[in-house]
């Protein structure tokens, strides 16, 4: 793989283009957390009683945090990147410069991760305003770092889909068949404890399950079973998926 | 003059399709070298291999002594690319397009500012510095592509049909700028379908067709060799050909019937014309031979798709 500091140049290019969209994207990124936190957290939470001694919102926030990062980074690396390849031809002009195709892709994954971080941070801010805070400021900082990490994971995963997408419509298969189900089977909104065993097993194969588990443990400060394995698994998975995504995009970009 | 680009048996395949079919050529430092050919001839494919964005299937290709290849950053550093398709960054302004490009080439902020101001003046776009790309005319976009290609002060410029879709004024401005670059010692690789463009800019050209090089030479020598000095066009029905040809038998001219016209390629068009006038035909024309005649003769006068 040919990766270097030039990844930052690609990120910079995205930052320049972002300037014009920053207000609308902030609005969108704010509406989503408000939607989740108010409907599920406040509305449903009222019927849920205490969750391990705390209001439901304390259970919900770390889960929704992880899924918000997943959503943003995925969408950026699906639609955002596809537009840059097919419609805007940004990649064509990039690879004619000393920036390699690998760096262009890695730069876009970094960008997707950043967009995830922005969504997560906005979500966190709303939660803080609602009085739902991580156990300590250090944990807040750790969560931010963790968001960057899962942004890279889901950004890379989306990049693989983009590398083979013949058209825009293709992405709805991925979002409808992978992303949305993952949202409901990964313990974002309720614990997995009451799932039948086969569903629990299935959930263990979903990366979001592990991301949520870690996010929740960091947020609440309460250790969960298998946390180390979740973390190790995600690191290996991210490395593998990142590598595959770059390889596959290279095939699409270099003819 | 030293050789900058050397290709030998250069081949590019897309699956079963042979886009470039074992061509060999040399481009000298400081010259303008043109690839002429109809649609699909393989011009873009060839120059994309030269500027290292498309892998070579077989054969060898070196630029400045280095093998051309996707990963060759050193070559990309010294090359400026004016692509056939306008791929400016529509999310950025004119100025930002150049700023971002300068970063891609590791050019520092202050140096970039100086160069960008200079380049915008060079392509006469100072007034558009803060404009969005969508607010530019096609001619302005093409000029901005030139400025962008010059950000890294390239030793080699690859211009793929740089004036397609432009009006005469815009085209002439681009020609002037490209000639200016050449006088500064930059090597220019140009592809074009406009014969006038090749005649205006190129020191040497190759005519490409179906992935192969048909002819190579200076524009004037190619015209002289392939066509002669003059062309006479006679627009008559095909039945009359025999009568006309018999009448003109004394002249050593090649002739060709294409559609509704009989073409004569001659050294002495005037003599032929005088004799032709005796037949009192309504529709005849005597004109100097051009590269276009060479092009059409070599690649056929029918449409290629
Ligand atoms: N990415 C690609 N995949 C498959 N075939 C391709 C690809 N790019 C070009 N070709 C084919 O290669 C051949 C040469 O194309 P190329 O674009 O090099 O021609 P050209 O001389 O530049 O034509 P034009 O004047 O229309 O730009 C054509 O038959 C074209 O269809
Ligand atoms: Mg072309």
B77 to chain A: which residues are within 8 Å by CB?
A: 98
Inform me whether the pLDDT recorded for A179 exceeds 90: yes
Contacts of B240 (CB under 8 A, 6+ apart): none
Domain-terminating residue out of B170, B198, B217: B217
- Closest-CA residue of chain A to B89: A90
**Starting from the edge strand earliest in sequence, which strands make up the sheet with B230-234, in order?**
B254-258, B261-266, B230-234, B284-288
Total count of domains within chain B: 2
- CB-CB contact of B93 with B87 (8 Å): no
The whole-angstrom separation of Cα A141 and Cα B184 is: 55
Predicted pLDDT of residue B301: 60
- Whether the predicted pLDDT of A216 surpasses 80: yes
Q: Which of A143, A102, A147, A116 is nearest to A242 (CA)?
A: A102
Residues, chain B: 305
Question: Would the CB atoms of B104 and A100 count as touching at under 8 Å?
Answer: no
pLDDT averaged per 10 residues, chain B (length 305) = 93 95 96 93 96 96 93 94 95 96 96 96 95 95 96 96 89 92 95 88 94 91 81 88 86 83 84 84 84 79 51
Record the pTM: 0.90
Neighbours of A229 (CB within 10 A): 12
Give per-residue pLDDT as tens, A102-113: 999 999 999 999
Residues in chain A: 255
What is the CATH classification number for the domain harbouring B281?
3.30.70.260
Three-class DSSP category at B115: helix
Q: Is residue A178 scored above 70 in pLDDT?
A: yes
DSSP category for residue B193: S
Percent of chain A with pLDDT over 70: 100
pLDDT number for residue A19: 86
Band (pLDDT 50/70/90 cuts) for residue A33 is confident
- Distance between CA atoms of B182 and B176, rounded to whole angstroms? 10
For residue B298, being part of any structural domain is answered with: no
Q: For A192-209, what is the mean pLDDT? A: 90
Average pLDDT value over all residues in chain A: 91
Residue B264 and residue B160 share a domain:
no
Clarify whether residues B134 and B264 are in a common domain: no
The pair phi, psi for residue A97, each rounded to 5°, is: -105, 175
Q: How far is CA B245 from the centre of its chain?
A: 36
Measured between alpha carbons, how far is B14 from B21 in angstroms, rounded to an integer?
11
Same domain, B200 and B280: no
In a domain, B117, yes or no: yes
Cα(B39) to ligand 1 centroid in Å equals 8
Contacts of A245 (CB under 8 A, 6+ apart): A105, A109, A156, A157, A159, A160, A163
Dihedral sign, Cα of residue B40, residue B42, residue B45, residue B47: negative
Q: Is B17 in the pocket of ligand 1 (CB under 6 A)?
A: yes
Contact between B158 and B119 (Cβ < 8 Å): no
Ligand 2 centre to CA of B124 (Å) is 26
Least confident interval from A38-42, A165-169, B202-206, B241-245: A38-42
Q: B115 with B192, same domain?
A: yes
- The C-alpha R_g of chain A, in whole angstroms, comes to 18
Range of the domain at B275: 228-288
Q: ipTM score here?
A: 0.89
Which residue CA neighbors atom 25 of ligand 1 most closely? B39
Residue from B45, B51, B197, B299 whose mutation best tests the ligand 1 pocket (most atoms within 8 A of CB): B45
**Residues B39, B179: one domain?**
yes
Q: Dihedral through CA A134, CA A139, CA A140, CA A144, nearest 10?
A: -130
For residue A2, name the pLDDT band (cuts at 50, 70, 90). confident
Question: Could you give the CA distance from residue B294 to residue A227 in angstroms, rounded to a whole number?
Answer: 75
Do B213 and B237 fall within a single domain? no
- Say whether both B126 and B272 belong to one domain: no
What are the DSSP calls for A44-107, one per residue? IHHHH-EETTEEHHHHHHHHHHHHHHHHHHHHIIIIIHHIIIIIS-HHHHHHTSSS-HHHHHHH
Q: Break chain A into its structural domains and give their ranges.
A: 7-253
Phi, psi of B266 (to 5 degrees): -135, 160
Whether residues B87 and A88 touch (CB distance < 8 A) is answered with yes
């Amino acid at each position: 793989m040919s990766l270097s500091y030039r990844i930052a140049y690609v990120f910079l290019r995205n930052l320049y283009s972002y300037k014009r969209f920053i207000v609308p994207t902030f609005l969108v990124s704010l509406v989503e957390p408000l939607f989740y936190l108010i409907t599920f957290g406040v509305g449903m939470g009222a019927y849920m009683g205490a969750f391990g001694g705390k209001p439901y919102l304390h259970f919900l926030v770390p889960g929704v945090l992880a899924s918000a990062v997943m959503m943003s980074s995925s969408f950026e690396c699906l639609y955002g990147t596809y537009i840059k390849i097919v419609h805007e031809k940004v990649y064509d002009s990039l690879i004619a410069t000393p920036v390699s195709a690998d760096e262009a892709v890695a730069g876009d994954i970094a960008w997707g991760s950043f967009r995830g971080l922005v969504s997560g941070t906005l979500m966190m801010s709303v939660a803080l305003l609602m009085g739902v805070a991580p156990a300590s400021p250090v944990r807040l900082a750790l969560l931010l770092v963790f968001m960057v990490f899962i942004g890279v994971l889901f950004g890379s995963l989306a990049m693989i889909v983009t590398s083979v997408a013949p058209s825009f419509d293709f992405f709805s298969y991925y979002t409808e068949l992978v992303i949305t189900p993952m949202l409901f089977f990964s313990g974002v909104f309720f614990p997995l404890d009451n799932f039948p065993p086969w569903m629990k097993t299935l959930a263990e194969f979903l990366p979001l399950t592990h991301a949520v588990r870690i996010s929740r443990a960091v947020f609440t400060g309460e250790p969960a079973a298998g946390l180390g394995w979740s973390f190790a698994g995600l690191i290996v998975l991210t490395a593998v998926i990142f590598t595959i995504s770059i390889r596959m995009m290279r095939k699409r970009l270099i003819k | 003059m030293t050789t900058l680009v050397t290709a030998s048996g250069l081949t590019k395949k897309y699956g079963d399709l042979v886009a470039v079919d074992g061509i060999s050529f040399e481009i000298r430092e400081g010259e303008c070298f043109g690839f002429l050919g109809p649609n699909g001839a393989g011009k873009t494919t060839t120059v994309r291999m030269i500027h290292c964005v498309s892998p070579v299937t077989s054969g060898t290709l070196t630029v400045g002594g280095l093998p051309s290849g996707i990963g060759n950053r050193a070559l990309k550093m010294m090359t400026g690319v004016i692509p056939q398709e306008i791929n400016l960054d529509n999310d950025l302004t004119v100025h930002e397009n150049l700023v971002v490009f300068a970063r891609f080439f590791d050019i520092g902020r202050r140096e970039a500012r100086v160069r960008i101001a200079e380049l915008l003046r060079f392509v006469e776009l100072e007034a558009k510095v803060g404009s969005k790309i969508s607010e530019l005319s096609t001619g302005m976009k093409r000029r901005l592509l030139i400025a962008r290609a010059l950000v890294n002060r390239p030793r080699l410029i690859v211009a793929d049909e740089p004036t397609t879709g432009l009006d005469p004024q815009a085209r002439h401005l681009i020609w002037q700028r490209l000639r200016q670059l050449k006088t500064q010692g930059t090597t220019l690789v140009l592809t074009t379908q406009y014969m006038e463009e090749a005649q205006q800019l190129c020191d040497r050209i190759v005519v490409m067709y179906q992935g192969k090089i048909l002819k190579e030479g200076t524009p004037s020598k190619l015209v002289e060799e392939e066509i002669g000095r003059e062309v006479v066009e006679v627009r008559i029905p095909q039945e009359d050909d025999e009568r006309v040809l018999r009448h003109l038998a004394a002249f050593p001219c090649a002739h060709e019937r294409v559609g509704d016209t009989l073409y004569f390629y001659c050294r002495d068009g005037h003599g032929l014309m005088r004799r032709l006038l005796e037949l009192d035909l309504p529709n005849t024309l005597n004109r100097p031979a051009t590269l276009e005649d060479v092009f059409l003769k070599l690649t056929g006068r029918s449409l290629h798709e």
